[in-house]
Amino acid sequence: MNIHWKLYEDDADPMNPLGSITLTGADGAALAAEATFLDSWFRALLIGLHGTRQPGDEWVEQIDGPDPLHFRREADRVWLSHDLATIDLGDHDAAFSEARAQAVKFVRRFQLRAEWESNTTLVEIQKLLQR
């Protein structure tokens, strides 16, 4: 899996981290969201991939969206469904590593700003990264 994200503003407000995110699966298929709150996506990715450390299903509600993310793990592979799309994220551990690495970069964009801890989702992401 590959994650590409972009904040709409270089100096984005930690309380409104609006941007776009594209997840590209092992087979090249992509799932993309525009004009979305990236903190909600990173939170959901970390929770879902953490919850599928063993085979099974994990449903994660997004804070700012009506549709949950559905993670399904079989053996070492994991799939992600959102809305009507499903992508093969490939190897679970590699997908989890990519999600963690991108979430670290995302949180670091805001940590130098005094008000970053006012965004409880950013704080939750930080805690999820410490698991």
- Give per-residue pLDDT as tens, 11-45: 788 999 999 999 999 999 999 999 999 999 999 99
Q: Which residues pair with 88 in a beta bridge?
A: 79
Minimal CA–CA distance to 21: which of 71, 104, 35? Answer: 35
- Strand, helix or coil for residue 31: strand
pLDDT at 113 over 80: yes
What is the distance between the alpha carbons of residues 28 and 32, in angstroms, rounded to a whole number? 13
| Tally of CA atoms within 13 A in the half-sphere of 116 that contains its CB | 17
